[in-house]
Amino acid sequence: MKFDPSTTAVPSEDLRHVGQATHRVDGPRKTTGTAPYAGEWHPEFDAHVRDAAYGWVLGAGIGKGRIASMDLEAARAAPGVLAIVTAADAGSLDKSQRNTARLLGGPAIDHYHQAIAVVVAETLEQARAATALIRVRYESLSGRFDLDAEREHAEIAGDDAKTEVGDFDAAFAAAPVQLDATYTTPDESHAMMEPHATLASWEGDRLTVWTSTQMVDWCRTDLAATLKMPKEKVHVRSPFIGGGFGGKLFLRADALLAALASRAVGRPVRVGLHRPLIANNTTHRPATIQRIRLGAEKDGRISAIAHESWSGDQPEGQPETAVNQTRLIYAGANRRTAMYLAEMDLPEGNSMRAPGEAPGMAALEVAMDELAERLGIDPVELRLRNDTEVDPEHPERRFTQRRLANCLREGAQRFGWDQRPAKPGVKREGRWAIGVGMAAAFRNHILMKSAARVRLAPDGSVTVETDMTDIGTGSYTILAQTAADLLGVSLERVAVKLGDSDWPVSAGSGGQFGAANATGGVYAACVKLRDAIARKLGLEAEGAEFADGEVRSGGRSRALAEAVKDGEPLTAEDGIEYDESLSKQWQHSTFGAHFVEVAVHVDTAEIRVRRMLAVCAAGRILNPVTARSQVIGAMTMGVGAALMEELAVDTRLGLFINHDLAGYEVPVHADIPEQEVVFLDEPDGMASPLAAKGIAELGLCGAAAAVANAVYNATGVRVRDYPVTLDKLIAQWPAAA
């Protein structure tokens, strides 16, 4: 089905379940332990995996170089060992386009902890013990591990990586108020709760993997390409995922090595990446260096805006697109953005929740606050004065909806922004300095094809099948709500089946594009099924109403179940597609505003977040319960990015040294106060059939900047290098010990 906003957008009055606060339909399975995750798949779910062996992955012990020799003799002789697979005996492997580095290294080593072997044994303990017996001799090479040192060698990262509008240099030089500042964000880890895990099994030349992946079809396509086998002979199953945040978008070593190990031993094999391996073996958010220049008139109108960003990745990698939001969020006639990419030998950098905008907004929104201070203008007012209804680079393109100003005003009113001390470092409660900060939020909405299959059974129940995944976001629930509304049945009569490559290809979970597009796919399949049902009942399909288990058309009413009274189910499969002209003519984006209050101890510089508010405008909210969960989770990640999260790079050896949850700090419950989330009523009929847009990443974009701005308001100390830690404050804050 082609999406046509004039004919396929669903009116609000036709929706009874969508938009309602609904608890997760999969909640009982998760709370009773009957939801099968990849690492715990067992014979209760599939009897033929009963005889599964275990694989343990060995990662490279150097950051760059070659394997001179690998002694496997002692490991092969260890108790329970069935096989050891290395690059030397894995057969010819390809590298898919979505993988930057090879998933199985050797003899060349591309990065630290690149997988170089998997040991397969009867038990997990035996596999792990045998792996410790492998003796590897390396020939190390000097590597490029320091972004700051490689910055001068960085090059423009592609054809669209530099934009120019007007004459930035002249406008900036002439601006009466100027800001020229550099900000840095560190490498960050996804730190998802569920490690990467896969169970693989071969039946002849056909492969099945039960794995943890956000994108089932990408995983299937890339696993087939890497193994040089037909895609139709690979079956991927991923019904439940314990978090991904972008770290499970792409094929990773666990799936490939499980497949190779299973083929080697002729039985199912489980492979899970142990926690210390994940940070270096998989992907991470790359560090950035960002230079922002803002020139403004004395009334606060921006006349010149430039944002340049440097990041690094493996050869043939991609930049962290930290300038994305700057191209769209604020007006300004003279503009420049540029992304520079340095070739480095650190582990692969790639998507992490809100790639681009998360680190980009962390810098831009602090720069906006610094500009507001120089102008003597309230930070909220400065943003309002530079709002725009059109794409600043292409004024002929308007936003489908843009309620940034509404978010800013609503948030300011709810948070009590008018009580904020304009002068930093003046408000105290005992030995605590109190400050408040804010930031705008921005994230684009992406239109993607998505398909589904819907079936009406003889008992009147409805089943939805699609390879869409649920990474804890509530996909099961919103897809059930969609089918229930379109077919006029209760939510309890809808069963949703997800995460299987035998089912129609969906948008998948990532980039804030999953919910709006996947529900669009279910919408398309349901519309096709509605036509089939109406014909079966002898009713006119156009204008038919499906409600309360009945179909009503032309003054007649028939029970839905009558369409399948012959015992044969009715099935329809279809998907939603978007004409390219929709994105060319219109800009699809989501907007919001973050407000934060912090307390900073004047003796120790300890930072405590006390209040958080996010106001979001992101199309129709499909389910306020699951949407709120997404936003507060994103806000929590924003606190982590602002105050603690940092992969520490050993620039001598080329590794992240704090590669576990003991050394890589993330927020815990004690770090997070009560969080308030407000959704503006904003159905966007240009975005999707249900007038919905993405929400999951908007709550992160700008959150870190709001925290950093609040810390500045409390202390008067401006830290431009994330995370904002107490040592950086103490170094500049005379009041601190």
Q: Are strands 394-399 and 428-429 parallel, antiparallel or unpaired?
A: unpaired
Q: How do strand 234-237 and strand 206-211 relate by DSSP bridges? A: parallel
The DSSP secondary-structure symbol of 726 reads: H
Q: Which two tokens stand for residue 288?
A: 């950035």
Q: Hey, how many other C-beta atoms are within 10 angstroms of the C-beta on 95?
A: 16
Question: Whole-angstrom Cα distance, residue 478 to residue 382?
Answer: 38
Which residues have a Cβ under 8 Å from the Cβ of 182 and sit 6 or more positions away? 289, 290, 291, 292, 720
Per the CB < 8 A criterion, the answer to whether 456 and 531 are in contact is no
666 neighbors 353 (Cβ within 8 angstroms): no
Picking from 574, 274, 600, 561, the residue whose alpha carbon sits closest to that of residue 434 is 600
Query: Does the N-terminal peptide bond of residue 723 adopt cis geometry, omega within 30 degrees of 0?
Result: yes
Block residue for tokens 């290294």:
105
In angstroms, rounded to a whole number, what is the distance separating the alpha carbons of residues 15 and 460?
Answer: 20
Are the C-beta atoms of 456 and 560 separated by less than 8 Å? yes
CB 158 within 8 A of CB 290: no
Q: Are 621 and 631 in contact (CB under 8 A)?
A: no
Alpha-carbon distance of 513 to 446, in angstroms, equals 6
Q: What is the dihedral of CA 637, 469, 615, 12, to 10 degrees?
A: -170
703-715 and 624-643 helices, crossing angle to 10° = 50
CB atoms within 10 A of CB 36: 18
Answer whether 479's CB lies under 8 Å from 449's CB: no
Tokens of 474: 């509530």
Active site residue 697: yes
Neighbours of 140 (CB within 10 A): 15
Q: Interior CA angle at 142 toward 136 and 147, to 5°? A: 120
Phi-psi region of 574 (alpha: psi -120 to 50; beta: other; left: phi over 0): beta
Sequence letter at residue 19: G
Q: What 3 state SS string does 104-125 have?
A: CCCCEECCCCCEEEEEEECCHH
The two beta strands, 53-59 and 177-185, are unpaired
Element (H, E) at 290: strand 288-296
Judging by DSSP bridges, how do beta strands 494-497 and 545-547 pair with one another?
Answer: unpaired
- What lies within 8 Å, CB to CB, of 431 at 6+ separation is 601, 602, 603
H helices of 26-122, in order, are 27-32, 73-76
Cα 471 from Cα 452, distance rounded (Å): 18
DSSP one-letter code for 677:
E
Phi/psi for 663 (5° steps) reads -100, -30
- Is 209:236 a contact under the CB 8 Å cutoff? yes
Q: How many CB atoms lie within 10 A of CB 148?
A: 13
Q: Is the dihedral of CA 94, 236, 482, 536 positive or negative?
A: positive
- Give the span between the Cα atoms of 190 and 285, in whole angstroms: 8
The one-letter amino acid code at 665 reads E
Cβ pair 307, 24 in contact under 8 A = no
Spatial strand order of the sheet with 550-553 comes to 545-547, 550-553, 556-559
Give the catalytic positions in this structure. Answer: 697
